């Protein structure tokens, strides 16, 4: 279908693997390379300023830090560029597993993320301008690729590469939608239409759909992922935004707004919980997992958005670490940003020079494939590119939290002795295996945080050589089990897709659900709906039933006849899902459904939480009575008070009247503070004209160059495992000198606040030596923090630049981050 747009002429060449790169894919592999991207616009040639390495200051340096090597460079093994065969030999896996190469240079370059389409083709983001050297030279040149990689003969190796787009600045995110793709560069989210011409996929129209998608912050702290969740929303890391494509005539969901439309659908954007740093994944129940920089996967106990339903109430779901942050490397890891800090690396014994814990956790996955033995299903797997390994943990569910333990005590599922092995993302693949995106890059740390110590480590082992021309994707599989078939789902009807909702591989289940829902945007799906309902009736598989329920939810076919048997005899998680999708019930069935809610309210803690979370959407007084019953039964357990108030939704007044003077101080605190959300309150109007100007500049830096939002959240309420809240914080409003000292020289936990203790392995870095942050910039951030989110210091709430200059001079001898004991409250 041609929409009257100018399309690229596909250029095709066939390349034998070793013709271009001696270290590339096997010479026996013939790969067809097709370029369908439009001709790249001429980029104005801007002379690259010559950098004097003798005077250059790295932005990650901290005044007073002694960056002397703890491990002499002479002890560290070299890090030569390895060809694929050598790289495979450097990788160790646990017994029973095998690792295979799927594709390597010259058919892939600097891959950072991917997605599989309905026929199993990989769509890959190639960040080809990322840190070619320690200065990040040419970073913003628009030369990043969106590439399509195919295995046409089914031998498990890529044999066709299509360059679909080749003018993207630092591409980071890609996902599939009806009619095309959504992808993000360093700032914006785009839609590009996918057309077919002469057997090749070619780009059609390209439009910006969200100009603010990844705006602000440094490269390491920008929004990413667009992960398709069980509830059919796209979720992101480093963001509180979620997106959904809906029919052009569909009603926009409450709390969301339309931001774009095309001939296929309209895109709506809503608010979600702020989560993670790089990557999002989920389990079979639809719970989301993500990770911080210094943590393994973190799991959310409730379904996404559970605590965001009531506009008069705010609560953060948070996430729990799936096990501890310890890792077990098999090579020296002195090439990390703060390897000069003694506690980062083992100093003695057989582990000398090896990293102790995560410092650069990347895109985790919950393994939901069907290639590994059952005992590995559902494990949380997190890559640690700074340590050149991949770590696996069993997820353990406890009351109100998800936790975990290492699958292999004191060892990892996969580790390499190659320092250039940089696993940055993991995916459950259509064939049931685990796909590993290896950026294969000498430099991992971005220039905004790079220290002189790391720069010297990089140069000592020539890690600044050979970057941006390499990349690999590997497959981790169970050696004794055959891989699954390659999918061909793109041209199936909704009815033909229904059987795949019960596939043993989660990728197939998720893809079938997405495709059925996309069909429903334009087509009648009555026959498919009937088959899905029959699938639920005839299945005793929990995964199948839950996936089928959310498919019905996505096509707006939810009824009491389907849910009722599940509420009576389903498993705990099936009951949770059946209650969760009930917000799509016709109002004529609400009263009957409310009776089930009331009966289930005290039957089980987790089921009771979901009863409370959905009570407000069921138009019956009995539903809110069921919510109160949950409160009466389980008060004091995690999330109960929050679930009751959030789940009331727009019916807070009814719930408050029902509760009366409830005999629980914490619940009454919530009741008495409805509508008083600190995030919405600002003291800007009370500031002087100079103060207002500082406030506005500080807001810009907080969400931009200062990257404060990356750890403390855009709403200032903190991110679990990263940075504490600023709401009503004595660290912020009591004494501006304390705030200035911390901003200049950093802070190490734990720190105790009025109602909670914050402790994380992350150390807040000071900004005293950051050349991009002047005293005026720091004063502006401090002014913004002290006058936002309900904060209003009694006197001197605006902080002047000269005050920061005075504190800087006064604390010139501070060489390490502060701790709580350095201050009196």
Instruction: Residue 747: name the closest of 762, 725, 733, 735 by CA.
Output: 762
CA 576 to CA 610: how far, in whole Å? 6
Instruction: Residue 17: name the closest of 32, 6, 8, 28 by CA.
Output: 28
Q: Which helix (H) or strand (E) holds 183?
A: strand 180-184
Mean pLDDT of 811-824: 85
Q: What is the DSSP string of 393-412?
A: EEEEEETTEEEEEESSTTS-
Q: What is the pLDDT of residue 43?
A: 64
Res 44 pLDDT > 80 = no
Instruction: Residue 825: name the closest of 693, 758, 735, 760 by CA.
Output: 735
Res 697 pLDDT > 90 = yes
- Please, what is the Cα angle at 74 between 71 and 76, to 5 degrees? 65
Among 704-713, 735-744, 753-762, 774-783, which stretch is predicted with the lowest mean pLDDT? 753-762
Instruction: Residue 7: name the closest of 203, 162, 263 by CA.
Output: 203
Q: What is the pLDDT of residue 55?
A: 66
Q: What is the pLDDT of residue 721?
A: 66
Give the residue with greater pLDDT, 118 vs 296: 118
550: its two tokens: 């959310």
Mean pLDDT of 573-589: 98
Mean pLDDT of 61-71: 84
Helices and strands: H and E segment counts in the chain: 20, 33
Res 18 pLDDT > 50 = no
Q: Going from the N-terminus, what domains does the chain have, and what CATH number goes with each?
A: 11-42+63-478 (2.120.10.30), 558-676 (no CATH), 682-822 (1.10.760.10)
Res 22 pLDDT > 50 = no
Spacing of C-alpha 709 from chain mean position: 15
Mean pLDDT of 560-576: 98
Residues 96-111 pLDDT 10s? 999 999 999 999 999 9
Q: What is the pLDDT of residue 5?
A: 30
184: its two tokens: 């993000």
The percentage of residues in the chain with a pLDDT greater than 70, rounded to a whole number, is 92
Residues 239-284 pLDDT 10s? 999 999 999 999 999 999 999 999 999 999 999 998 999 999 999 9
754: its two tokens: 């009025």
The mean predicted confidence, pLDDT, of the chain is 90
Residues 715-744 pLDDT 10s? 787 776 678 888 777 788 878 899 999 999
Among 95-104, 566-575, 695-704, 789-798, which stretch is predicted with the lowest mean pLDDT? 789-798
Res 8 pLDDT > 50 = no
Whether the pTM exceeds 0.85: the reply is: yes
Residue 7: which pLDDT band, with cuts at 50, 70 and 90? very low
Mean pLDDT of 518-547: 94
Whether the link from the prior residue into 314 is cis, omega within 30° of 0, is: no
DSSP structural state of residue 501: G
Instruction: Residue 519: name the closest of 248, 175, 247, 262 by CA.
Output: 247
Give the residue with greater pLDDT, 54 vs 287: 287
Spacing of C-alpha 400 from chain mean position: 22
Residue 23: which pLDDT band, with cuts at 50, 70 and 90? very low
Mean pLDDT of 686-708: 87
| Letter string b/e over residues 328-360, b meaning 16 or more CB atoms within 10 A of that residue's CB | bbbbbbbbbbbbbbeebbbeeeeeebbbbbbbb
Radius of gyration of the chain (CA): 27
Res 587 pLDDT > 50 = yes
Q: Which helix (H) or strand (E) holds 805?
A: helix 801-810
Q: What is the pLDDT of residue 429?
A: 98
Spacing of C-alpha 174 from chain mean position: 13
Q: What is the pLDDT of residue 764?
A: 82
Q: What is the pLDDT of residue 705?
A: 72
CA 200 to CA 202: how far, in whole Å? 6
Mean pLDDT of 134-138: 92
Spacing of C-alpha 266 from chain mean position: 24
The three-state (H, E, C) secondary structure of 436-451, written as one string: EEECCCCCCCCCCCCC
Q: What is the pLDDT of residue 14?
A: 53
Mean pLDDT of 764-773: 80
Mean pLDDT of 288-312: 93
Q: What is the pLDDT of residue 554?
A: 97
Residue 386: which pLDDT band, with cuts at 50, 70 and 90? very high
CA 555 to CA 531: how far, in whole Å? 13
Q: What is the pLDDT of residue 45?
A: 58
563: its two tokens: 């849910």
Res 41 pLDDT > 50 = yes
Mean pLDDT of 775-782: 92
Residues 415-471 pLDDT 10s? 999 999 999 999 999 999 999 999 999 999 999 889 999 999 999 999 999 998 999
Residues 348-362 pLDDT 10s? 999 999 999 999 999
Residue 676: which pLDDT band, with cuts at 50, 70 and 90? confident
Res 647 pLDDT > 90 = yes
Strand partners, 414: 93, 390
CA 368 to CA 378: how far, in whole Å? 6
Residues 655-665 pLDDT 10s? 999 999 999 99
Q: Taking a C-beta distance cutoff of 8 angstroms, is the pair 796, 736 a contact?
A: yes
Tokens 């239409």 correspond to 193
Res 188 pLDDT > 70 = yes
Q: Taking a C-beta distance cutoff of 8 angstroms, is the pair 356, 345 a contact?
A: yes
């Amino acid at each position: 279908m041609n929409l009257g747009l100018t399309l690229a002429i596909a250029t095709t060449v066939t390349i034998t693997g070793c013709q271009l790169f001696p270290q590339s894919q096997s010479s026996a592999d013939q790969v067809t390379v097709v370029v369908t991207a439009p001709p790249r616009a001429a980029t104005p040639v801007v002379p690259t300023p010559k950098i004097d390495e003798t005077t250059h200051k790295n932005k990650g340096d901290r005044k007073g830090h002694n960056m002397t090597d703890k491990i002499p460079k002479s002890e560290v093994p070299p890090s030569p560029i390895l060809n694929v065969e050598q790289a495979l030999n450097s990788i160790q896996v646990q017994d029973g597993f095998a690792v295979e190469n799927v594709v390597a240079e010259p058919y892939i370059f600097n891959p950072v993320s991917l997605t599989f389409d309905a026929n199993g083709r990989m769509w890959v983001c190639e960040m080809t301008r990322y840190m070619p050297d320690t200065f990040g030279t040419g970073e913003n040149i628009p030369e990043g690729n969106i590439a399509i990689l195919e295995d046409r003969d089914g031998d498990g190796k890529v044999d066709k590469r299509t360059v679909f787009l080749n003018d993207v600045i630092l591409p980071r995110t890609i996902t599939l939608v009806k009619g095309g793709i959504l992808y993000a560069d360093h700032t914006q989210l785009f839609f590009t239409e996918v057309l077919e011409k002469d057997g090749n996929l070619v780009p059609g129209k390209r439009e910006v759909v969200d100009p603010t998608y990844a705006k602000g912050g440094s490269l390491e702290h920008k929004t990413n992922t667009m992960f398709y969740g069980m509830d059919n929303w796209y979720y992101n890391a480093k963001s509180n935004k979620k997106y959904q494509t809906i029919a052009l005539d569909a009603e926009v969901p409450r709390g969301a707004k339309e931001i774009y439309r095309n001939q296929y659908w309209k895109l709506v954007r809503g608010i979600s919980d702020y989560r993670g740093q790089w990557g999002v994944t989920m389990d079979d129940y639809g719970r989301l997992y993500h990770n911080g920089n210094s943590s393994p996967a973190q799991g959310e106990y409730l379904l996404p958005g559970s605590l965001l339903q009531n506009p008069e109430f705010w609560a953060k779901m948070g996430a729990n670490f799936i096990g501890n942050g310890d890792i077990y490397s098999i090579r020296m890891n002195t090439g990390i940003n703060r390897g000069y800090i003694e506690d980062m690396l083992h100093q003695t014994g057989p582990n000398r020079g090896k990293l102790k814990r995560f410092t650069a956790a990347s895109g985790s996955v919950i393994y939901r494939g069907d290639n590994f033995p059952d005992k590995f299903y559902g494990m949380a797997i997190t890559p640690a590119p700074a340590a050149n390994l991949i770590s696996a943990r069993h997820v353990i569910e406890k009351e109100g939290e998800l936790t975990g333990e290492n699958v292999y005590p004191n060892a990892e599922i996969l580790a390499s002795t190659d320092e250039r092995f940089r696993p940055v993302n993991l995916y459950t693949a259509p064939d049931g295996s685990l796909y590993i995106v290896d950026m294969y890059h000498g430099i991992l740390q971005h220039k905004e945080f790079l220290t002189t110590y790391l720069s010297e480590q990089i140069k000592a082992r020539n890690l600044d050589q050979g970057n941006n021309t390499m990349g690999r994707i590997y497959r981790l599989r169970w050696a004794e089990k055959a891989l699954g078939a390659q999918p061909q789902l793109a041209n199936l009807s909704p009815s033909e897709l229904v059987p795949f909702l019960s596939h043993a591989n989660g990728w197939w289940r998720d893809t079938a659900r997405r495709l059925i829902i996309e069909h429903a945007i334009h087509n009648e799906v009555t026959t498919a709906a009937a088959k899905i309902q029959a699938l639920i009736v005839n299945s005793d598989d929990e995964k199948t039933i839950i996936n089928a329920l959310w498919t019905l939810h996505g096509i707006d076919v939810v009824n009491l006849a389907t849910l009722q048997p599940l509420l009576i005899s389903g498993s705990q998680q099936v009951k949770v899902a059946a209650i969760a999708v009930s917000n799509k019930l016709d109002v004529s069935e609400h009263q009957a459904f409310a009776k089930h809610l009331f009966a289930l309210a005290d039957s089980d803690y987790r089921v009771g939480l979901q009863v409370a979370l959905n009570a407000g959407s069921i138009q019956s007084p009995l539903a809110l009575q069921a919510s109160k019953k949950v409160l009466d039964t389980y008060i004091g357990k995690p999330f109960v008070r929050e679930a009751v108030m959030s789940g009331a939704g727009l019916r807070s007044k009814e719930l408050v009247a029902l509760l009366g003077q409830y005999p629980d101080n914490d619940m009454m605190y919530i009741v008495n503070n409805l509508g008083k959300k600190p995030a919405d309150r600002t003291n800007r109007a009370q500031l002087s004209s100079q103060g207002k100007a500082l406030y506005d500049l500080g807001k810009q830096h907080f969400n931009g160059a200062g990257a404060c939002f990356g750890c403390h959240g855009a709403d200032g309420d903190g991110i679990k495992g990263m940075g504490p809240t600023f709401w009503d914080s004595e660290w912020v409003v009591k004494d501006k000198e304390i705030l200035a000292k911390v901003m200049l020289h950093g802070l190490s936990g734990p720190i105790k606040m009025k109602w909670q203790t914050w402790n994380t392995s992350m150390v807040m870095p000071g900004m005293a030596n950051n050349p991009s942050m002047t005293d005026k910039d720091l004063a502006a951030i401090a002014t913004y923090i002290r006058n936002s989110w309900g904060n209003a210091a009694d006197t001197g709430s605006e902080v002047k630049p000269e005050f920061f200059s005075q504190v800087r001079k006064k604390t010139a001898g501070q060489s390490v981050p502060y701790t709580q004991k350095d201050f009196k409250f």
